[in-house]
Amino acid sequence: MSLRDVTLTVWGDKGKPLVAHRGDMLFTHFGLSGPIALRCSQFVVKQRKKTGGEPVRLTLDLFPDKSVAQVYDDTYALTKAEPKKAVKNILKSVAAERLLPLLLARAGLDGDTTHANIPKQAWQNLAGLLKAFPVDVNGTLSIEEAFVTGGGVSLKEIDPKTMQSKLMPGLFFAGEILDIHGYTGGYNITAAFSTGYVAGLNAALHAEAAAGAQ
């Protein structure tokens, strides 16, 4: 199930947001994926490491440009416009159809309810879920399936002008073997190309200088 233009927020153990990203995401057979899920994943990894592997709370905002009150009013107005229609059918225009049963169940709403019988508190619950649908993440995929990896050779041990090791002259590093990683979307391959160029050029110069000295 794909979702367009939503916001995904990662929460810390003290109830404070660690990061939030807006864009597209997917619910897959294994969990969350898509651009904003991938951007949030490194924060999930760090938070789980910090808490000893505890699940990390994420929330999904289906209406990033609206407040909870606006979502409540707008969705309630839809039911008022079609008072004899079941809310589960009206809300198909509001949220992904496959997500609706879960939203209604968590809000405490019967999908067959019509406008005149809507419990106000349950509708308030629904508005809250549309703005902050909770997802507890208990892990990330293996390194073999990763788009981007963190860790590697410390940048403190590298001369950034040449990409040469400060500890071992003649040894040059580039790409994701370095402890650098950016968001998906071309940043990492750009880093790989640029560091690869610098490392390759200076490795050649170093080899040429070493050959000339013999």
Mean predicted confidence (pLDDT) in 131-149: 88
Answer yes or no: CATH 3.40.50 is held by domain 68-133.
Answer: no
Confidence of residue 128 (pLDDT cuts 50, 70, 90): very high
Mean predicted confidence (pLDDT) in 171-181: 91
CA distance 82 to 103: 20
Confidence of residue 136 (pLDDT cuts 50, 70, 90): very high
Mean predicted confidence (pLDDT) in 174-186: 84
CA distance 162 to 63: 47
CATH 1.10.8 maps onto the chain at 68-133
| Max Cα-Cα span within the chain | 92
What confidence score (pLDDT) does residue 67 get? 97
* Bridge partners, residue 205, by sequence: none
Query: Is pLDDT of 21 > 90?
Result: yes
Tens of pLDDT along 65-93? 999 999 999 999 999 999 999 999 999 99
CA distance 109 to 50: 37
Query: Is pLDDT of 181 > 90?
Result: no
Higher pLDDT, 140 or 173: 173
Confidence of residue 214 (pLDDT cuts 50, 70, 90): low
Q: Look at residues 74, 136, 75, 64 and name the one whose alpha carbon lies nearest to residue 100.
A: 75
Query: Is pLDDT of 28 > 70?
Result: yes
Kindly report the pTM of this predicted structure.
0.80
CA distance 111 to 34: 29
